């Protein structure tokens, strides 16, 4: 995919997330890896109204080299790219149900959402570490996320929201949507006697789909 195509895809997928209520106001940010750096949503921009020409461009060292000023969470995205060589995109949302779980779960918990459905396991994996709360934009978040991202495709930032990585931009958006739905299911079923996938069923999914 060319850079021009990736710019358009990023704006289209962001608008789709916004239209369906996965992001409100100026919450959330998205980045995608280029051959020579990264594209990122500008700070204080609505995911519903992005301009492909004004996306922030960062070089391979995450230095801002073009477009509007990048998200204040550059380091959050950098933590994933540096910890996970295969990551081609990172999506951060404040989607309601995942954020509700991020408020309920204890920092350090690695399975705040049970494996209720196959697609949650296939898209997010075995663990979803909960990273301790720090203020949005606080660079101290980078080391906390980097440590958690070494063993997980996605994390929940306590009292803040989910951050998801994947090989491609489309995969990262799909995973962020699947995480939000899994969180909604977990809250709907909380306190009820729902069956979860067994460890053997989880292993089978990860073997077949990874």
Q: Which residues are catalytic?
A: 73, 119
- Where would I find the H helices in 66-194? 74-83, 96-104, 118-124, 141-149, 169-189
Residue 50 is a binding residue for ligand 13P (CB under 6 A): no
Q: Under a CB-based contact definition with an 8 Å cutoff, are residues 120 and 154 in contact?
A: no
- Report the residue from 28, 37, 115, 129 that binds ligand 13P according to the rule CB under 6 A: 28
Among 7, 29, 112, 116, the residue binding ligand 13P under the rule CB under 6 A is 29
Choice from 5, 12, 21, 44 touching ligand 13P (CB under 6 A): 44
Size of the site for ligand 13P (CB under 6 A): 12
Q: Tell me the backbone φ, ψ of residue 107, rounded to 5 degrees.
A: -55, 135
Please list the residues that pair with 90 across neighbouring strands. Answer: 31, 165
User: Nearest distance from residue 101's CB to ligand 13P, in Å?
Assistant: 16
Rounded Cα distance, 172 and 91, in Å: 6
Beta bridge partners of 26: none
72 binds ligand 13P (CB under 6 A): yes
Binding site for ligand 13P (CB under 6 A): 26-29, 41, 43-44, 71-73, 92, 136
């Amino acid at each position: 995919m060319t850079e021009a195509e990736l710019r358009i895809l990023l704006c289209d997928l962001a608008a789709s997330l916004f239209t369906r209520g996965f992001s409100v106001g100026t919450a959330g940010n998205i980045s995608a890896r280029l051959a020579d750096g990264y594209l990122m949503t500008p700070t204080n921009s609505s995911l519903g109204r992005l301009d492909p020409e004004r996306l922030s461009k960062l070089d391979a060292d995450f230095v801002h080299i073009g477009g509007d000023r990048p998200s204040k969470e550059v380091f959050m995205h950098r933590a994933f790219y540096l910890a996970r060589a295969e990551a081609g995109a990172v999506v951060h949302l404040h989607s309601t149900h995942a954020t509700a779980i991020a408020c309920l779960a204890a920092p350090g918990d690695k399975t705040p959402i049970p494996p209720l459905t196959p697609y949650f396991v296939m898209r997010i994996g075995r663990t979803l570490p909960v990273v301790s709360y720090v203020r949005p934009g606080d660079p101290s978040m980078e080391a906390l996320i980097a440590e958690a991202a070494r063993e997980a495709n996605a994390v929940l930032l306590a009292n803040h929201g989910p951050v998801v990585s994947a090989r491609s931009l489309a995969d990262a958006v799909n995973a962020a949507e699947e995480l939000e739905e899994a969180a909604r299911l977990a809250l709907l079923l909380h306190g009820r006697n729902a069956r979860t996938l067994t460890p053997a069923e989880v292993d089978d999914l990860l073997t077949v789909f990874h």
